[in-house]
Structure 1
Amino acid sequence: MDHDAESRSLYAATYLGLPTATLPEGGEQGARLPAAGEAVWVLRGGGGYADPDPTFADHFARFLDTVDPAEVRAIIVESWEEPYSISADVPVGLLAENAGRLPALRSIFLGDMESEVCEISWIKQADVTPLLEAYPKLERLEVRGSDGLALRPVRHEALKMLRFESGGLPGAVVRALGECDLPALEHLELWLGEESYGWDGTLADLEGILSGARLPALRHLGLQDSEIQDEIAAAVAAAPIVARLESLSLSMGVLGDEGAEALLSGQPLTHLRSLDLSHHYMSDDMMKRLRAALPGVELDLSEQEAPDDEDGWRYIAVGE
């Protein structure tokens, strides 16, 4: 994945193997739209520095009246009006309130906006629990931005993928995730970030996730973009959940030789199909040791970084 993801739309043309589609602008006449279930629908209100009209509520109402909502399978909420000062409560609320009209919806991406609209750390998010409660058959939930983000512990039987992209994920959200019962979840990805942009957690907040007790189907775990990546690596080295993973990502953070040494000294990782440690601060010697120790693992050691010459500062890949 492109670590500059906060600077562009991840799914500009396709998503989940489907083309993305938007409603025609008010002045466009006779625009041909794809069948409701054969596209991913990109919904937006005025956002960032753009013209604030129409509002997200107006756009959503027109969407429900224009396509057959009963056939819609995937929605990307690209933006809402002034997302740097107004929370995502409106799009979350409207999606939850209209769940009965969207029975086929299986995927939601909340906040897939480019940095020109709003920097990732500025996006005002919301409590996303209502989306999980309103859509018991939802299979994929992705969220960008974490200012105001909240989650309550829930049980969800169908969710297979959960991703939080942020420059700083609140510790309360991480703790709540560890208390969620997600028996079908296969892919969990967290961009934990740094304190300057909202990370206020500790290693202890990850215990519920690393135990794997409530995540019996998990096959991919990403604990990424972290300023405590060495500590996370040490915890992962002894975590019960790792033995049943197929892929693991500790990328985008400030992983150095200390964290890599912990991985080499911990439980075997040779069962993994892939291990992503890209954007790191490891030495050449340590990279050689990792390659020698994990010959059958698809190992990503790209983006070797060097600490700041003046103060030795290490930077995560995505902050602001």
Structure 2
Amino acid sequence: MTIGDHLSEWGDLPAYTFPDLEKDPEKQAAAVRSLPAADAVAWRIAVDSYEAPESWEDAFARFLDTVDPGAVRSIIVGPWSDAYENRPDAVFEAIVAAREQLPALRAVFVGDIIGEECEISWIKQGEVTRLLEAFPALEELGVRGGDSLEFRAIRHENLRTLTVEAGGLPVEVVRGVAASELPALVDLELWLGTSEYGGNSDVDDLAPILSGERLPSLERLALRNSEIQDAICAAVASAPVVARLDELDLSMGVLTDDGVAALLGGQPLTHLTSLDLHHNYVSPEIGARLADTLAAAGVELDLDVDDADQDEDDDWRFVAVGE
């Protein structure tokens, strides 16, 4: 999946877009007859911001009336009305209100919106921790968009995957995630972004995550898409959590030779199965040193870089996803 594509799956289920409301009753009936089983797909519910015949909440209500909600395992929230102007509070309220109808729900993604629908930096978000509170059995939560995003410190016993994608992640969100007690969390992915789009955290805000104390089950850590990627690498080089990771992802950011040198001079990374550093500003020489260090241990290393990324001018080095 890339930022230019809709999700192809969520919650280990293939994504399937719930059909739009048809004006023709016969077409509507045919669309309903062709639907997959409620537990077979991740249901993407979306409305066109400009031409939708119904609101997102109405589409969701129709969805609950059409499928067997008791069997639904995964929901993907696509565009809601004017996602670039309105927080999805009504969307959250509709999902929370349906919690008794959705006993099998284990995965939710909010904001499966791509650039032609709304730039990532324009997506208004809301208080996503409401979903965790309403669904204590939830195992996967994903969010796209950092503007107006709220994530309070929370304890959740069953969440296994948390993904937050943003062109700039507010420091309050980073601190909320870092302060959360998530004993079952296996996979944590944060796109920290750039200050130009609201990414105002620094490496000190990541300290509780890097200590691993509140994340005893963590196996994959992805701190991506950051303009302070070198400083993150320096912190990761001695971070206690790294010793028990299988996968480490520091990709998509402004990574230079300084960051790679910090990794080379820090704790061994040879226990990892993979290290992802793609989209970087690393010289071939130091990249080769890192590759040689990890190759003997069988660590999969991704140092791929577009030619356009290899700019020697610091003023023209960018994260992979900003606006």
Equivalent residue in structure 2 for 1:44, among 25, 46, 50: 46
CA contact (8 A) 1:124 1:149 kept: yes
Distance 1:310 1:183, change over 3 A: closer
CA contact (8 A) 2:157 2:184 kept: yes
Distance 1:17 1:46, change over 3 A: closer
- What's the CA shift for 1:304? 5.0
Q: Is 2:316 the partner of 1:318?
A: no
Partner of 1:20: 16
**Quick one: distance in 2 between partners of 1:297 and 1:52?**
48
Partner of 2:28: 29
- What's the CA shift for 1:14? 7.7
- What's the CA shift for 1:24? 4.5
- What's the CA shift for 1:52? 4.0
CA contact (8 A) 2:14 2:41 kept: yes
Partner of 1:194: 194
% identical aligned pairs: 50
Distance 1:53 1:198, change over 3 A: farther
CA contact (8 A) 1:233 1:260 kept: yes
- Superposition pairs for residues 81-230 of structure 1, below 5 Å? 81-230=81-230
**2:37 corresponds to which letter in structure 1?**
A
**2:113 corresponds to which letter in structure 1?**
M
- What's the CA shift for 1:115? 0.9
- What's the CA shift for 1:206? 0.4
**What SS does the corresponding residue of 2:289 show, helix, strand or coil?**
helix
**What SS does the corresponding residue of 1:294 show, helix, strand or coil?**
helix
CA contact (8 A) 2:174 2:205 kept: yes
- What's the CA shift for 1:152? 0.8
**Quick one: distance in 1 between partners of 2:241 and 2:265?**
17
- What's the CA shift for 1:312? 4.1
For residues 242-298 of structure 1, the C-alpha deviation after alignment (integer angstroms, 9 at most, x for no partner) is: 000000000000110000000000111000000000000000101110011111210
Partner of 1:278: 278
**Quick one: distance in 1 between partners of 2:10 and 2:227?**
32
CA contact (8 A) 1:222 1:248 kept: yes
Partner of 1:8: 5
**Quick one: distance in 1 between partners of 2:135 and 2:99?**
7
Q: Structure 2 unaligned runs (5+)? A: none
**Quick one: distance in 2 between partners of 1:21 and 1:57?**
15
**What SS does the corresponding residue of 2:44 show, helix, strand or coil?**
strand
**Quick one: distance in 2 between partners of 1:38 and 1:193?**
34
For residues 135-193 of structure 1, the C-alpha deviation after alignment (integer angstroms, 9 at most, x for no partner) is: 00101001000100001111111111000011001111111111111111000000100
- What's the CA shift for 1:307? 5.1
**Count of residue pairs the alignment pairs up:** 314
- What's the CA shift for 1:18? 2.9
**Quick one: distance in 1 between partners of 2:299 and 2:313?**
36
**2:40 corresponds to which letter in structure 1?**
E
TM (norm. structure 2) is 0.93
Distance 1:307 1:298, change over 3 A: closer
Q: Structure 1 unaligned runs (5+)? A: none
TM (norm. structure 1) is 0.94
Runs of 4+ in 1 over 3 A off after TM superposition: 304-312
**Quick one: distance in 1 between partners of 2:315 and 2:154?**
42
Partner of 2:291: 291
CA contact (8 A) 2:21 2:53 kept: no
**Quick one: distance in 2 between partners of 1:161 and 1:74?**
13
**Quick one: distance in 1 between partners of 2:223 and 2:261?**
17
Partner of 2:66: 66
- Report which stretch shifted further, 25-34 or 253-262: 25-34
- What's the CA shift for 1:21? 3.6
**Quick one: distance in 1 between partners of 2:90 and 2:197?**
24
CA contact (8 A) 1:127 1:150 kept: yes
**Quick one: distance in 1 between partners of 2:97 and 2:28?**
30
- Report which stretch shifted further, 31-40 or 286-295: 31-40
Distance 1:286 1:310, change over 3 A: closer
